[in-house]
Chain A
C-alpha cells in the first residue's frame, strides 16, 4: 500500500511558485475583501491565480449546464428532480464565488458554454433513462472532487488547500448521494478519492 504523503508531494508543496491560488483568492472565496485587496498588491502570481480560478469556473459552469440538461431531459423523476436542483444550486454558489474572485483580482471570468455545446460534449444524446443520467452525474461529481483534490499540491498556502478541500467536499457529498441513489455500495477501501 502506498503511503498517503509522498516525497514528491511534499516537494511540490515546498516548490510550487507559479500555479497556485493566491491568498487573495482564498480571502475572496471566504468573503474577506480586505485580505483579498492586500494580496492583490502582491501581483507576481495574480495571472496564474486567475488562470487556475478560471479552470475551476469552467468546471462549475459545466456542472450547472449538466444539471440543467438532466432536468430538461424528461428522464428524471419528480422525486429526484429537487435533489438535482439543489446540487445545481451548490454549483451556482461555487460559480458566483469564483466569478467574484476573478473580477476582484482583475481577471476576466470565462463565460459559460451554451447548454447545447455541453450536451454534445457530454454525449447527452446517449442518455436513455434516469439511471443513465445519474451515472453521468456520478462520474462528473467524482471527477470534480478529484480535480479539486488534485490541485491541492499546487497551492503554496495552507488556506488554499483548505478551500480546495471544501469544494472537493461538496462534490464528494453529491457523489455519495448519487451513488446511494444508484444502489452502489460504499467503496470497500478507504482513501479512494484523490488517488
Chain B
C-alpha cells in the first residue's frame, strides 16, 4: 500500500512538473499580442478593459471601464481557473457578457493566462 501511495505521489509530482514545463509565458505573450490586441491593451481601456493586473482583480472593476451588468455583478476574483473558463466560452461562462471571442485550445489558454499573470 505504501508503495502504491509513493508511486501515486511521484506520478502526481511528475504530472505537475510536466504541466508547469508546458506553460510558456513567451508564447502566451505572442498569442496575446496576436489575438487580444484587437480589443485590449495592457495599460488602457479600449473596446475591452485593460489587462494589466487582471489576474487577482475582482471582475468588472478595471477603473474607468464600462462593463456589462453580468460582469459588474459577477462577484468573483479572476484566477486561472475562471480565466480558463472565460476564454473557453465567455457567453457560456457568464451569460450576458459582451465578449464573444473564445480560445479553443486549452494549451493556448494556459499560455495566455500565464502571460497575464506576469503583467501586474
A residues within 8 Å of B by Cβ? Answer: 2, 6, 8-9, 12, 15-16, 18-20, 47-48, 51-52, 54-55, 58-59, 62, 118, 120-123, 139-140, 142-147, 150-151, 153-154, 195
Contacts and interface: CB of A to CB of B under 8 A. Distances in A.
B35 A154 contact: no
Contacts of B98: 51-52, 54-55
Residue among B96, B98, B105 facing the most chain A CB atoms (10 A cut-off): B98
A20 B99 CA distance: 10
A18 B47 contact: no
Tell me what chain A mostly uses at the interface: helix, strand, loop, or mixed. Answer: helix
A143 B35 contact: yes
A121 B38 contact: no
B76 interface: no
Contacts of A62: 46-47
Nearest to A55: B98
Nearest to B89: A12
Contacts of B10: none
Contacts, number: 105
B34 A19 contact: no
Interface string B29-63: 00001111111010011111000000000000000
Given A19-B99, A58-B39, A146-B35, 4 more contacts: A12-B89, A19-B92, A51-B98, A140-B38
A53 B97 CA distance: 12
Contacts of A16: 89, 91-92
Interface residues of B, number: 32
Contact of B91 (A19, A120, A145, A150): A19
Interface in B88-120: 88-92, 95-106, 108
Given A58-B47, A140-B38, A18 B104 contact: no
Contact of B34 (A9, A12, A143): A143
A143 B32 CA distance: 9
B44 A123 contact: yes
B19 interface: no
Contact of A146 (B38, B92, B99): B38
B37 A143 contact: yes
A20 B89 CA distance: 11
Contacts of A153: 89, 102, 104
